[in-house]
Amino acid sequence: MKPRPFDYLRPDTVEEAVAALAAHGEAARVLAGGQSLMAMLNLRLIEPAVLIDIARVPELADIREMSGAIEIGAAVTQNRLMAWPGLAEKLPLLAAALPFVGHFQTRNKGTVCGSVAHADPSSEIPLVLAMLGGEVVLRSRRGTRTLLASAFQRGMLSTAREPDELITAVRFPVQRQRRVAFREVARRHGDFAIVAVAAVADGGRVRIGVGGVADRPATRDIAMDADLGDAVNALAWELEGYEDIHATARMRRDILRRIAPQVVDEALRCVA
Amino acid sequence: MRRVDRSQRATISITLNGRQVSAEAEPRMLLSDFLRHSLGATGTHVGCEHGVCGCCTVLIDGAAVRSCLTLAVQAEGKAVTTVESLAGADGRLNALQQAFKNNHALQCGFCTPGILMSFTDFLGRNPTPSEAEIVEVLSGHLCRCTGYAGIVAAVLEVSGSKDNAEKRSV
């Protein structure tokens, strides 16, 4: 199918983009890489009156090292971040997760911030952002605010972004933990995960993150001397799981119980 | 700021396979349709129109992307490379195409243009990939005929990753 008609705006600066959002609000959608948005437009799942294309805004094209965090601008593609030389050393969990994000061909265009904005519950980048306690930077004419990932993602495809706000960047705290692992179960490599699990081991505890089971990424810290199987089972029941064309809720809980211990084991053995 | 209203047909210029071309398009026109219908470049095929099948893959500024998930207006001013660019002017297949032929890497050929463009980008970055890396790139495409094995063999052959480098001169 083809999208319904819309007005197309391609601002040259963040200021112009924010002004366009202030003028059009809920009638507008921000287009960056379009790897989720364009599919939704083609299927007419969304019918915005205005598209604001931010892909060519120079201010949004940077990967910047700040004190203690890596800031990734809203126009940075997933493949550009994968090719960033500091990735494996500074953000080993993200380096482990990025190869699972879509396909080579969609990562060439899809953006890091776009994944966060789209807020699919099975999506890898929002899961890593939640695991590391990262932040989302939002700008509007009213000013700039920064939200923790846990406050930003509110539910299935739902975030705390106001209609006049532009996500200008996300910030991943630089990781000092080296023992990380990421794994997911999908119908085909690169497809949406049915269940994704991340683990970061740190001293006497391990943090696990789960995507694709609840309506948003879930994280849990588990003491190393606790019974891992029991802890994962409790988490599976707590998150319940949801049913869609790919899997039942029960199957999601079962996959989580099976792969979480493997991912934790992999993290414990890993020196990234 | 570039602005095109919904009812407006803007003139979109791109560099298509090294040639400067332009045609009119309304904002909602997909790059895949722009190539085929407005520019007559029908080598790029359209399958699912939501980014899953990979048939419509082209290069934009050298990077393999889904042309069905790209608006024509987004490609404005960029270099677009399609399957038409691969064979020589005399119709002689390039090395990648020849390897596909050698290895029976296509049957109906509908998905082939997209797959060729993906590997044109990928082999440019990684000229001697492992089989696993080839499979990873191929996971972004659906082929209903070949079972994929011939495609993997073709890319291995052309990249000289396997000990069949002698075939590369074919």
pLDDT computed for residue A55 by the predictor: 98
> B77 near B13, Cβ under 8 Å?
yes
pLDDT computed for residue B165 by the predictor: 43
Decide if A1 is inside a domain: no
Tell me how far apart the 2 most distant CA atoms of chain A are, in Å.
Answer: 58
Q: What are phi and psi of A247, to 5 degrees?
A: -160, 155
Statement to judge: residues A67 and A164 lie in one domain: yes
Question: How many whole angstroms separate alpha carbon B122 and alpha carbon B133?
Answer: 10
Statement to judge: residues A79 and A161 lie in one domain: yes
Which domain covers residue A40, as residue numbers?
7-53
Residue of B nearest to A8 (CA): B4
Q: What percent of chain B has pLDDT over 90?
A: 93
Statement to judge: residues A91 and A36 lie in one domain: no
Q: Where are the domains of chain B?
A: 10-83, 95-164
DSSP B144: S
Considering only CB atoms, A190 lies closest to which of B50, B57, B139, namely B139
- The Cα angle at residue A259 between residues A171 and A99, in degrees rounded to 5: 45
Token reading at A246: 């790919």
Statement to judge: residues A48 and A68 lie in one domain: no
In b/e form, how buried is each residue of A67-82, taking b as 16+ CB within 10 angstroms? Answer: eebbbbbbbbbbbbbb
User: Do A189 and B136 make contact, defined as CB atoms within 8 angstroms?
Assistant: yes
Instruction: Look up the ipTM and state it.
Output: 0.94
Statement to judge: residues A106 and A71 lie in one domain: yes
Query: How many CA atoms lie within 13 Å of A266's alpha carbon, on the beta-carbon side?
Result: 15
Q: Where are the beta strands (DSSP E) in chain B?
A: 2-4, 10-16, 19-25, 57-60, 63-66, 79-81
Task: Tell me if B10-83 shares its fold with B95-164.
Answer: no
Token reading at A174: 């630089």
C-alpha distance from residue B138 to each of A18, B122, B154 (Å):
39, 10, 12
Choose the final residue of a domain: A114, A139, A173.
A173
Statement to judge: residues A75 and A34 lie in one domain: no
> Could you say which residues of chain B have pLDDT below 70?
161-170
Choose the final residue of a domain: A153, A173, A193.
A173
Q: For residue A105, list chain B residues with Cβ-Cβ distance below 8 A.
A: 54, 57, 64-66, 118, 137, 140
Kindly tell me the burial class for residue A269, based on how many C-beta atoms sit within 10 Å of its own C-beta (0-12, 13-18, 19 or more).
exposed
β-bridge partners, A198 = A182, A209
User: Do A2 and B33 make contact, defined as CB atoms within 8 angstroms?
Assistant: yes
The pairing of strands B10-16 and B79-81 is: parallel
Token reading at A147: 């939200």
> For residue A198, what is the enclosing H or E element?
strand A193-202
Whether the CB of A9 is below 8 Å from some CB of chain B: the reply is: yes
Token reading at B164: 């069949």
Helices vs. strands in chain B: H and E counts, helices first: 5, 6
Statement to judge: residues A37 and A73 lie in one domain: no
Token reading at B147: 């079972």
Whether the CB of A99 is below 8 Å from some CB of chain B: the reply is: yes
Choose the final residue of a domain: A173, A192, A213.
A173
pLDDT computed for residue B170 by the predictor: 38
Q: For residue A46, list chain B residues with Cβ-Cβ distance below 8 A.
A: none
Statement to judge: residues A234 and A169 lie in one domain: no
Task: Looking at the structure, give the CATH architecture of the domain made up of residues B95-164.
Answer: Orthogonal Bundle (1.10)
CATH of the domain at A262: 3.30.390.50
Decide if A258 is inside a domain: yes
pLDDT along chain A (272 residues), means of 10: 96 98 97 98 97 98 97 98 97 97 97 98 97 98 98 96 98 95 92 95 94 97 94 97 95 98 94 59
Decide if A102 is inside a domain: yes
CATH code at B10-83: 3.10.20.30
Selected for mutation to probe chain A from B71, B73, B125, B142 (highest A CB count within 10 Å) is B71
User: Which bin fits A117, alpha (ψ -120 to 50), beta or left (φ > 0)?
Assistant: alpha
Domain count, chain A: 3
Q: How far does A186 lie from chain B, in Å, by closest CA?
A: 12
DSSP A207: E
The SS3 of residue A250 is helix
β-bridge partners, A184 = A196
